[in-house]
Amino acid sequence: MKCVATLFLATLAAAGMTTEARAGYSHYFNWNAPPDEARLRACIADMERIVAAAGRLVAGLDGSGAPIVEPLKIEFNGRGESAHETFLFPGKGGFNFCKTQYKPYDAVVTACLIAARDYFPPSTLTIASDGKWDEGDWADGARLYAKALGRRPTDPTNDPDNLQPLPNQPPDSTSLDKVILIGIGLVVIWWIARPRCAFTLFVEGNKLDRVRGEAPRQFLMDVDDICRQFSIPRGTVRALQIRNWIRLVFSSDISPECRQRIRNTWTAHLWRRRLGRPV
């Protein structure tokens, strides 16, 4: 029964659109669901910029004075003899229309409807018109929209859900969940792949003074000899381990020549270990 009633109302709405179309050039919009307040507020702000860019094309409800612009609604008409029917947005819940008879303020109405599509998808707001986008009936409105908002206009009567992001709005829960999961994944990868200090060698008074961690005995003896040869007063050699690979990191106190000798000694130590010789 509910489906039958819905079909009946849809038929009436379509009939209403056809009747108005015969009576005069008009534009139509139908609320299929109540508008989100945050999106409506942002949409009205864009419409206000369009009205400001239109200048003397628009006036108040009776064709004189100033348009009515409030945070959640906008109302305007053409000016003087160019006035016809008032454009009210968001209007009432359900079916709305504005008959402009193609008067100059029609460009402002169509520009505002292009902006409305930016914030409300067809599932929320249906937009229709007696004019045809591809025949140029909306051309003046499209130019006004681009001038006022700096965006590329698209046909609001046949446009997918291509909504403008709202300023200062948090991401939806789905996006937030994805961000959290990616963050957790990066932390896990970093934890697994992060370098660990296998050992640290401390040089004091031109010799190896102490060791923190486990280091091969022969390598320690070689480092001690090298530091004596190069007269290194102090410094540190850290062995950073990433999985099975070790990188030697030196403090600035150790000269480049001494560093290279220690690296060569470490490489020789690795080869001795691979060949099964004492290290």
Rounded-to-integer distance, Cα 49 and Cα 41, Å: 13
User: pLDDT > 70: what percent of the chain?
Assistant: 80
Q: Is 0.85 surpassed by the pTM of this model? A: no
CA-angle at 163, arms to 162 and 165, nearest 5°: 135
Query: What percent of the chain clears pLDDT 90, i.e. is strictly above it?
Result: 56
Three-state DSSP class for residue 104: coil
Topology adopted by domain 196-274: D-amino Acid Aminotransferase; Chain A, domain 1 (3.30.470)
Compute the mean pLDDT over every residue in the chain, rounded to the nearest whole number.
83
**What would the pLDDT profile of 118-130 be if each residue is shown by its tens digit?**
999 999 999 999 9
CA angle, residues 127, 130, 131, in degrees to nearest 5: 95
Phi, psi at 47, each rounded to 5°: -65, -35
Q: How large is the greatest C-alpha to C-alpha distance in the chain, in angstroms? A: 104
Domain ranges of the chain: 2-149, 196-274
Pairwise CA distance, residues 208 & 217, whole Å: 12
Alpha helix stretches (DSSP H) within 196-255? 217-229
pLDDT at 62 over 60: yes
pLDDT digits (tens, 9 = 90+) for 88-142: 999 999 999 999 999 999 999 999 999 999 999 999 999 999 999 989 999 999 9
What does the block give as tokens for 235?
């410094």
Segment 194-216 shows an average pLDDT of: 86
